[in-house]
Amino acid sequence: MIYLIVGLVVLGVLAFLAGFFREKKLKRQLDMGEITELPSIKQVEDMECCGQHETCEKESLLAAVSKQIEYYNDEELDRFRGRDSDAYTPDEIEEFREVLYTMREDEVAGWVRSLQLRAIALPDELKDEVFMIVGERRG
């Protein structure tokens, strides 16, 4: 057990030193004009999933995946903010259904996340349909 702990500590120190010397080298290259800026993390926002997650984040229904609100030509649904999911009239449910079935299947998960971020509850009558569409996309 002690060997495992010592090994992890040594590995941590080596990782720290490697990062320290890499940063020092990059700053020296920047000062000498070999590079114009320090490398940074780039956010990839393409239509394809990266393949690094068990479930593609673009297909997730959880609002925690993204904090960016995106509208899907559904601004009129903002008037339902704060309403319970079981408190919609049949006509209001049909408004949601119309938006749902006029978008591409790959947009449905993003739309549901957008509704959650906007504090708009999806009507109970549509939840099964949404889960079916998203589930079919996941395969």
Gap between the terminal Cα atoms of the chain? 44
pLDDT tens track for 1-51: 898 899 989 988 988 888 888 888 888 887 888 777 777 655 444 445 555
How far is residue 16's CA from residue 48's CA, in Å, rounded to a whole number? 34
- Alpha carbon 62 to chain centroid, angstroms: 8
Query: How many CB atoms sit inside 10 A of residue 139's CB?
Result: 4
> Percent of the chain, pLDDT > 70?
76
- Read off the pTM: 0.53
* Alpha carbon distances (Å) from 34 to 23, 27, 30, 38, 131: 14, 10, 6, 11, 52
